Structure 1
Amino acid sequence: MILPDGYSDVPAGKIAAVVTHLEMTAPPARRDDPPGAWSLRKVDTPALDWYRDIFRRVGEDWLWFSRARMADADLAAIINAPGIEIYALTVDGRDEGLLELDFRETSQCELVYFGVTSGLIGTGAARFLMNRALERAWSNDVRRVWVHTCTLDHPSAVAFYQRSGFRPFRRQIEIADDPRLDGTAPRDAARHVPLIEQ
């Protein structure tokens, strides 16, 4: 379905976002790490409680909801699947960032989830995490690395990905139930997205 030009109504209780898909087909020039005491830890067998906690702490302000709504068995099947790699950005012994890579499609790597907690935004931690993500992604035999982000995310997300070497190639509209209305996210999450119930 192609949306018509002009305004299209979004039903009450729903959220809408413009999703931008970005890709790179060759390793980009390496960017220097910013100064900071961060490290990357591979999480070989992520516990569901751990994963749900870091997913919430990184994504709640941006209304990340897909994994939060999953049943335990479904979530465990994904995060423990062969070809999925999960990493935590750690600072002072605490996990404060999430990186999830998906190598299941031949010759491709998707950055499925990428982000740092709100206290680390603007500190250089995301640059450090992206440098590690691209090193890991391109260390496999891939021809393409891709990611998607949306207008619910941090306002600088698209620019950050472009500075990292990604180029946009597709745009979509996503409409979903507002996760603040079913308890998936707190009602005061993502204050930049108005809550419209009726």
Structure 2
Amino acid sequence: MKEGYHSVPDGMLATVVTSLSITSCPDLRPETATPAWDFERLLNPQPDAYRAIYKNVGEDWLWFSRLAMTDDGLNEVIHSPDVEIYHLRGHNGGEGLLELDFRQPGSCELAFFGLSSSLIGGPAGRWLMNRAVERAWARPIERFWVHTCTFDHPAALDFYRRSGFEPFSRQVEIFQDPRLTGLVDAKAAQHVPLIRLVYMP
């Protein structure tokens, strides 16, 4: 790719994706001793119930990949014995989603990790990450990895690095704006301008 500006096609978005990994189990960072939330593993969740959590946590960060899947396609992933899904519920509202994907032998992907807006910035993020680390390294893995992009929360990359992850690659991802297709609410992700297509006669 040449240096300089590059046009993004109409109706599409472009984001910079950074992938990070850990190759040995890190020490857990300090967390809140008595968390004010409930935490449970979701075993074989129904697609609509899973999508509701996924949207509540990820819509403002333009999470959409699971919303585009059919029920059968989604069930193939979320019902896999090598995919662990956890739901965090705050006592005063708010929720979180933690999804660990062990389908690649010797590796665990932190496939989804997020909190709804009322829990962002508080102690829930560190508490949930410590649970992610514990559960990932409870299996015989050699690598724990995650990717984040420039549409995610601006503190996400630093949070992952403080958690022990180190960057190993950077990519540009181009995809159709899910707000234009109706997968995501048009008012979501105010930090990413929505450019509506205007066709001249």
Q: State the TM-score, normalizing by the size of structure 1.
A: 0.95
Instruction: In structure 1, list runs of 5 or more residues that go unmatched.
Output: none
Query: Counterpart of 2:83?
Result: 84
Quote the offset at 1:123 in angstroms. Answer: 1.0
In 1, the alpha carbon distance for the partners of 2:106 and 2:180 equals: 39
Please show how residues 146-157 of structure 1 align to structure 2 within 5 Å.
146-157=145-156
Quote the offset at 1:95 in angstroms. Answer: 6.9
Query: Counterpart of 1:11?
Result: 9
In 2, the alpha carbon distance for the partners of 1:64 and 1:183 equals: 13
Quote the offset at 1:165 in angstroms. Answer: 0.4
Please show how residues 46-195 of structure 1 align to structure 2 within 5 Å.
46-92=45-91, 96-195=95-194
Q: Deviations over 1:63-92 (max 9, x none)?
A: 001111111111111111120110011222
Q: Deviations over 1:1-40 (max 9, x none)?
A: xx21111110121111100000000111221212531232
In 2, the alpha carbon distance for the partners of 1:38 and 1:28 equals: 24
In 2, the alpha carbon distance for the partners of 1:33 and 1:69 equals: 35
Q: Deviations over 1:155-190 (max 9, x none)?
A: 010000000000000000010000000100111110
8 A Cα contact 1:23 1:146, kept in partner? yes
8 A Cα contact 1:88 1:95, kept in partner? no
In 2, the alpha carbon distance for the partners of 1:172 and 1:46 equals: 32
8 A Cα contact 2:108 2:144, kept in partner? yes
In 1, the alpha carbon distance for the partners of 2:78 and 2:94 equals: 17
Instruction: In structure 2, list runs of 5 or more residues that go unmatched.
Output: none
Quote the offset at 1:94 in angstroms. Answer: 6.3
Query: Counterpart of 1:32?
Result: 30
- Which range moves more in the overlay, 35-44 or 119-128? 35-44
Spell out structure 1 runs of 4+ moving beyond 4 A. none
RMSD, matched Cα = 1.3
Aligned length: 196
